Structure formats: C-alpha cells, structure tokens
Amino acid sequence: MFKSIMIFIFFSLGSVGAYAKIDLVTLPIRDQVQLTIYNPADLTLVREQRTLTLKPGINRLELSWAETLIDPTSVYLEAPQHKGQVNLLEVSYLPHVKESAIWVIESQVSGEVLVEISFFTSGITWNAFYMATLSTDEQSLHLQNEVRINNQSGEDYLNAKTRVIVGKIHLLDEIAQLAKQNPPYGMPIEPFPFTDGNGTLTPRLEEEIKEKSVRSIFTDSVGVAPKQIIKEGLSEYFIYTIEGTESIPNGWGKRLPALDKIDIPVQVLYRYDEQRYGTETQQLLFFKNDQEHHLGETPLPDGQVIVYRQLAENQHLSYVGQLQTQYIPVGQEVEFNLGTAKPVKVEPILMDYKTENYLFDYQGQISGFDRIQEWQLKLTNNRDIPVEIEIFRQIEHPYWNVTYAPDLAVHYEKIDLDTIKYRLTLPPHTKEYLLPYTLTLFEGERQSKKTLIKGMAQ
Amino acid sequence: MKLVISISYIIFSLLFLFAQSSWARVKLVALPEREATVVRLDNPMAILLEEERHLTLQKGINQVDFSWKGVEIIPDSVRLTVLEPIDSVTVLNVSYPPNEQALIWQIVSQNGQQVKVRISYLLKQIDRLITYKAIVNKEETVLDLTAFVVLRNFSGENLPLTRFQLDYGETLASKLANGETKRISFFTANQLPIKKYFTFDAAQLPWDPKQISDNVSIPVHYELDNTPENGLGKQVLWDGKVRLYAEDGHGNHLFLGEDYAQFTPIGQPLKLMIGDSRDVVITQRKISENRVNERRDKQRTQVILYDLEAAMQVDMENFKDQPAWVRLKEPMPEEWEMKTSSHPYKREHNQEIIFDITVPAKEKVIVTYDYVQRNMRP
C-alpha cells in the first residue's frame, strides 16, 4: 500500500554525531490525505494527517520517501490541535543516507498527537477538457467541462481529498528537479574561488519525467450520481474541490465532470485580420462567462476544446474544430476561434492609385503630397444563414484619412493609431458584396496640413 | 578526516645546546579537547569557525601542530589568539610543512602554564541558506513568517554540539556531521500586515491581450515593511527562498507560490512575488500621433526640428470580487512633457512614469494621457 512514505519514531541516545536508533516506538499510517494539484506547473501539495505518539521533550522521527517524486525541502509538520506545544525544531539529512530525514520534534504533550505533514510532489497533473456542441441554428451552445487527473508520482493516493487549482503559480525551481536532488538542498556554493578550491555544484539533472500515456477511468461508483465539484476563489487562484475522496493509484488517470450547461446563448462572428490570421477568414464564437449565459459562477480554466455542431436529423453531429482556450475570468467575454471559415471570404482589392496635392518648397523641390488608394473589399457568404463579419485593416501609416460614398451604410470604427474596423451582416448566399473606400495617405508637408482636412484621423 | 592538534615542547636549554642543528617535530600524546566551538554564518561569502582550546605550554619555545587532513580549511585563514593569560606567550612564527594539510606555530611561553586560545579559520564546502515559510490569511491582509537556516556541511569536519551564530539573535546549538544537511527554524513573526499589488509594465507586457493566444498574466506581489510597527524591524532579513501559503478558510492551506526574497535591511520593504493574475486585464493603445511645432532651416526648405504629440489610452478591467491595486508602469521617450493625464502619476525616472490605480471590484478604469515628445529630428 504505502510503500514509500514511512515514518519511524525513535529516541536518540544523544550521542555525538550519529543518531542511534534504539527504540522504535510506533509506525503510524496516514489517517487522511489531501491532494492539491496545480496546473500547468508539475506540483502537488500533499497534506496528510497521522497520529504520532510523542513523549514530553525531544522526540526524533525518521521520514523516508524512497522511490517517490517528493521535494524533501518542502516537508513541514504542524500539530493543529496543539499549536505552540509541538514544534518541528530541526530536519536533518544525514550523510550517506538517501531519501530519508531525521526530524527533531519538541513536544510539551504526551501521548497520541494528531499531526499534519505537508510536502510537494511532482508527477500528479490535471488538465481541463471541454466539449462544446453548437445548436443547429448556431444560436446556442451546450458546454461540458471535465477535469482530468493523472498520477505518475510513484505513490498511491487512496481515499484522498482532491482539489485542483486554476491559476498561474510562480516557482523558482521545478519540483521534479528538487525531488531528484541529493543532498536535498544541493552542495555548498563557493562564493569566490580559493586557490585550491574544488567546490563544484551538483550538475543539474536534465532528465525529464517521461510522459506516459495513461488509461482514464471514470468515477469508481457505477449508477450513482456524478460527484459534485465545489468551487471557490482564493487569492489569484480558483480551487475545485472534488466531493468526498478519490483513489488515484500510481499510473492511473481519472476524469471528473466539472461543468455541464445547456442553452448558452452564443454569437458567431467571422473575422478578417491579416495581421493576426493572414488572408483566411476565421470563425469565432462569443459568449460571456456570466449569469446571462448560464455561467459566471467560476472562471473557466484554460484547456482543450472540441466543438461540434448539432445536425437537424437524428441527433447527428458534425465536427467543427478544436482549439486551446485561454483562462476566462468571471464576467469576461469568451472568444473561441474555431479556425478558418472557407465559406465566408474577404478579398481586399486595390482598384486605383494616384498621387495628388503636391507641395513644393522655395527651391522647387517636392515637399509633400497625398497618396490616394481606392480600395474595394469583396465579401462572399456561401453559407445558408446570415453571418456577422468584422474586418480589420492595418493602414501602417500614422497620417491618413478614409472617405466613402455618402450612401454607403457601413462605417468604420477607429481601433488605434493605424487600425480601422468594419462590422456588417452578410445575408445568406451572398456571392459578392462590395465595400469601397478611399484611403488617403499624407506624405511630407501634407502631414501638417492634414488638420485642415475634414474626417481626418486625429 | 580529522582535526588534530598536538604540542611538542623544546626545552629551552636543549634549544640552546642544539641551536644549530635541525630538530624533528614531535607529535604529542595529549590531544587537547576543543571547547566552545562557534560557527559564524554572518557573512554568506565564507563560513568562519572559532574554537577554544586549552594548551599546556612549557617554559620556552613550544611547537603547536595543527593539522586538518580531509578538512576543507583555507590554510591562510587560520589564526591563533591567546585569550588568557594575555601577554604571557608570544607566537613567534607559523610554518607550513610540505605536502601536509597542517601548520606549526612556534610559541614562546614565559613559564610552564596552561593557556586558553582561540583558533579561527575559514571553512570551505560548508554554508548556509536562509529559507522562509509564510502563511497569509484568506483575506490576504496579514502574514505569519517563519525563517529557517539550512546548514550544509560537506567540509570534512564533524561538528559535535556547536553554536551557530547568524548576524543577529541568539546562537543555535546543534550538531552537524560531515555530509549532513540540516534545516533549523530560527524565528517566527506572526500577523505581519501586508499589501497586495498588481504590476503592469507596459515596456514588458503585450499591449493588446486579444492579439495573443494566451492570457496576459499580470505579476502579483505582497509588500511588507521590515519595521518594528509591523512586528519585524529587529534585524535584516537575509535573502532566501520564500514559500507562500494561504489559509483556505477550511483549516487547510493552499500553496500560493514561491519567490526569492531580496536582502531587506531594517525599514525597507520586502517584496514577495506570488504569481500572475489573469483576473485583471489591461489593454493599452496609442490612439493618435501628430507632428506639431515644425521648425525649418534657413532656406525654409526642410523641417529640421519638430515635436510629436501622442495620445495614450489604457483600459484596466478588474474581474475580481475585490478591488485591485494596480501599479501601471509606462515607458516614456527621452525628452518629453506631459500635457494632460486622467490620473496623477509619479516620475520613477526620466523614461518611466507610474500610475497607482485602484480598480474597484468588477469595474473598469480608463487611464488616458497625452504627452509631447520634444525636439525630434527627421
């Protein structure tokens, strides 16, 4: 069972240098264990409860963690029911002894004491996975989210209270590296070279944990309602606590449903933006992580999304695409990019080019002029439903002006210094919709005259 | 691996008789026990070991051998100080025998006596790390701090019950065998008030989060002042790794992250980065740029100098349930002048300004500023 993390208590003779193990008092098993699993950092905080039998005064205890991926520098002990009365004074990693430490515990109480031991391990990971199903009319979405946990830590965790953490943690060292480091805190550092110095640092172990494919098992219980996941925020993190306990033996994975919402109103939008996507139109799906969209209880963790579309007949599905979603805070708009949309096309065509309004200096040299470009955006919608489309145009020139025919219904919106955006709806089966505009670029002296021109960029 | 000290006596008369002849060093039977060993850890650049011993000296010249086979002593650092009685003995010289990790002191004693000496030396392959464990309350307003010293001894010397002295506080008494690493807790300070900050550095982070595929993460840190009012301020906080935990309100802790605390003198703030926030979203844009105030050359043919007006807009959205204290760092050109700004700012240095903005929970704050970049040359 718990082959690896073992605790022995013994009293020391108090002899110099070595701690003689003379009296093995008890071998406590763990009463309870809690796993807090992070992502994407390979880090799990393990807190286990054990009952130790302590005598008043100094107690020595041995902890060993052979064949695990535990970071020995992260091990702490607390006695929640005897705060201030049971203290871990020292942790000692003896010479020539690997994967073992001696703890010196000072106790003011006698008898059985419940202690909590916490440490980090690597090798347990989790990730979020989404299944999204668009309704036939693309007006609503069925969104399912699952949490998947994999245990490659070398340790079996049976009946563990399990929590997974959504958030981006700041780590200085990888736990997997610390777990391999011997001695646990590394070797002393030579701050400046002495003549006969041979102080070398332990070479960093480059070996990575090989990712193994693991089988996935669903909740142990068959025919019982799926487990609830309790969600709450703390600091910059969101905690998903899985109801009850879970057993995750070493080498196993487990998938638990975390969210299942139907009829989420969504907006499908097509977007053309050469800077971001090149010349292909993208299909995007928008909804907000809020109550109006039957969401908003928790942030949505980043993870993989597979999107299907419900077909009208016999509940058949068609595959739309897959994507990696960002983390979405409560209240923020979700943007799923479903990828290239061939049926909706945007083609910017330069129809005419001329230069005008030349200015000359006192020596007769050209000091300014306007470059006038006549653009036509050729839009096509081959779908059988109307589509909403956004077109971004980068002007790449800070001094410009856009004009268009007065009867044109579509106006642009200025995004920043040199970016404009058009937004319009294309009816179904639009073979060709032309959106013309005139772009004037001001060169040289004409740049300072531009404030005189109406409709000018500021 | 042993440290041996031995004394040989040369009777004054013998020395007189055989002054011209070379004499062999005699290792003594008695091995003086060392007392009161102190390992000083106050300078992280090198560890100083001081030990006290009683030496029984004969009248005349005494030769005291000090050898350290297998121990990483820096030979030039070894010193001998006579503690008592002072002035009754004189160290004549120190010699280093060839191919030995040893030295010999020649000591003249006015009479046969027992003297108390202190031998000090620098040891290699032994050092100390400082690490901290900090637990913040659920509301992130106060923090409990425990400091640990980690002793790593690979010096070749076994240290039986020894006092370890940091630069402050009481000494820690412990044993430390060769090859042993030991973590000892040495102070705890509870309920230290902290403040949480978000920092958006516009020179480092992307301006438009929608343009990139991953979330833009805004670094978050806690600040606490190393002052007596805050329950600290008694000592310098040495640099070291800090692991931060938070109480989760259910009797458990959540690991928040770790950071390397910088050396923090008394009165200075300690900044501890915990991680990145994705619940504060910042979008920055340059809205316009205009050339103004053009000046020409004598022939009035060319613009030789102009100013550039720029308008900036920073949208700060807080999706959290608590207000966020955001420090907005904005890069500036070399020669500039602010025209208008929606919020007060402070000049960090010539090319950086800082806005300290509180963004209320679930709200959006828009910061705008217009500046002129002076005396540009085409």
Q: B4-123 has which CATH code?
A: 2.60.40
- For A374-383, b where at least 16 C-beta lie within 10 A, e where not — what string? ebebebbbeb
CA dihedral A332, A338, A342, A344 (to 10 degrees): -20
Distance from the Cα of A72 to chain B's closest Cα (Å) equals 11
Q: B281-376 has which CATH code?
A: 2.60.40
B319 part of contact set with chain A, CB < 8 Å: yes
- The model's pLDDT over B282-297, given as tens digits with 9 standing for 90+, comes to 999 999 888 888 888 8
B205 part of contact set with chain A, CB < 8 Å: no
CB interface of B with A, residues 158-177, below 8 Å: 158, 160-161, 174-175, 177
Which residues in chain A have Cβ-Cβ distances shorter than 8 Å to B312? none
A58 part of contact set with chain B, CB < 8 Å: no
Give the DSSP H or E segment for A32: strand A30-37
- Residue A60 identity: R
Cβ neighbours of residue B164 closer than 8 Å, sequence gap 6 or more: B38, B39, B41, B128, B149, B151, B171, B172, B173, B174, B176, B184
Distance CA A102, CA A98 (A): 12
Are residues B257 and A171, on separate chains, in Cβ contact within 8 Å? yes
CB-side neighbour CA atoms (13 Å) of B111: 3
Out of B178, B311, B319, the one facing A329 most closely (by C-beta) is B319
Q: Hey, what are A107's tokens?
A: 């106790």
B131 part of contact set with chain A, CB < 8 Å: yes
Are residues B174 and A90, on separate chains, in Cβ contact within 8 Å? yes
Are residues A185 and B180, on separate chains, in Cβ contact within 8 Å? no
Which residues in chain A have Cβ-Cβ distances shorter than 8 Å to B321? 233
Q: Hey, what are A322's tokens?
A: 């897959």
Distance CA B376, CA B275 (A): 40
- The model's pLDDT over B302-359, given as tens digits with 9 standing for 90+, comes to 788 999 999 999 999 999 988 999 999 999 998 999 999 999 999 988 899 999 999 9
Are residues B259 and A302, on separate chains, in Cβ contact within 8 Å? no
Distance from the Cα of B303 to chain A's closest Cα (Å) equals 9
Are residues B274 and A235, on separate chains, in Cβ contact within 8 Å? yes
Assign B9 a pLDDT band (cuts: 50, 70, 90): low
Residue A132: φ, ψ to 5° = -120, 130
Please give the residue of chain A at the shortest CA–CA distance from B148.
Answer: A90
Q: Which ipTM value was assigned to this complex?
A: 0.71
A90 part of contact set with chain B, CB < 8 Å: yes
Which pLDDT does position B168 carry in this prediction? 65
C-beta separation of B3 from B11 below 8 A = no
Out of B46, B125, B301, the one facing A365 most closely (by C-beta) is B301
Distance from the Cα of A177 to chain B's closest Cα (Å) equals 15
Please give the residue of chain A at the shortest CA–CA distance from B182.
Answer: A92
Give every residue of chain A whose pLDDT is below 50, as ranges: 1-4, 11-27, 195-223, 450-458
A276 part of contact set with chain B, CB < 8 Å: yes
B255 part of contact set with chain A, CB < 8 Å: yes
Percent of chain B with pLDDT over 70: 90
Bridge partners (DSSP) of residue B243 are B133, B258
B300 part of contact set with chain A, CB < 8 Å: yes
Pick the CATH number of A344-452 from 2.40.360, 2.60.40, 3.30.930, 2.40.50: 2.60.40
Question: Taking the domains of chain A in order of start, what are their residue ranges?
Answer: 5-121, 344-452
Can you spell out the DSSP letters for A93-133? Answer: E-TT--SEEEEEEEESS-EEEEEEEEEEESSEEEEEEEEEE
Q: Residue B126 above 50 pLDDT?
A: yes
Which pLDDT does position A193 carry in this prediction? 53
Which pLDDT does position A197 carry in this prediction? 35
Which residues in chain A have Cβ-Cβ distances shorter than 8 Å to B44? 191
Which pLDDT does position A317 carry in this prediction? 80
- For B193-219, b where at least 16 C-beta lie within 10 A, e where not — what string? ebebbbbbebeebebebeeeeebbbbb
Which pLDDT does position A166 carry in this prediction? 87
What's the first-to-final CA gap in chain A, in angstroms?
72
A38 part of contact set with chain B, CB < 8 Å: yes
Are residues A188 and B185, on separate chains, in Cβ contact within 8 Å? no
Which pLDDT does position B158 carry in this prediction? 87
Distance CA B210, CA A334 (A): 11
Q: How many CB pairs under 8 A join A and B?
A: 196
A27-31, B99-103, B163-167, B221-225: the lowest-pLDDT one: A27-31
Please give the residue of chain B at the shortest CA–CA distance from A16.
Answer: B160
CB interface of B with A, residues 77-116, below 8 Å: none
Instruction: Return the residue in B71, B72, B255, B289 with the most chain A beta carbons within 10 A, the one to mutate for interface testing.
Output: B255
Assign B7 a pLDDT band (cuts: 50, 70, 90): low
B70 part of contact set with chain A, CB < 8 Å: no
Are residues B260 and A172, on separate chains, in Cβ contact within 8 Å? yes
- The model's pLDDT over B363-372, given as tens digits with 9 standing for 90+, comes to 999 999 999 9
CB interface of B with A, residues 256-275, below 8 Å: 256-260, 273-275
Would the pTM count as exceeding 0.80? no
Q: Residue B14 above 60 pLDDT?
A: no
Q: Residue B20 above 50 pLDDT?
A: no
- The model's pLDDT over B245-274, given as tens digits with 9 standing for 90+, comes to 999 988 889 999 999 999 888 888 999 998
Count the residues in chain B: 378
Out of A94, A275, A329, the one facing B278 most closely (by C-beta) is A329
Question: Taking the domains of chain B in order of start, what are their residue ranges?
Answer: 4-123, 281-376
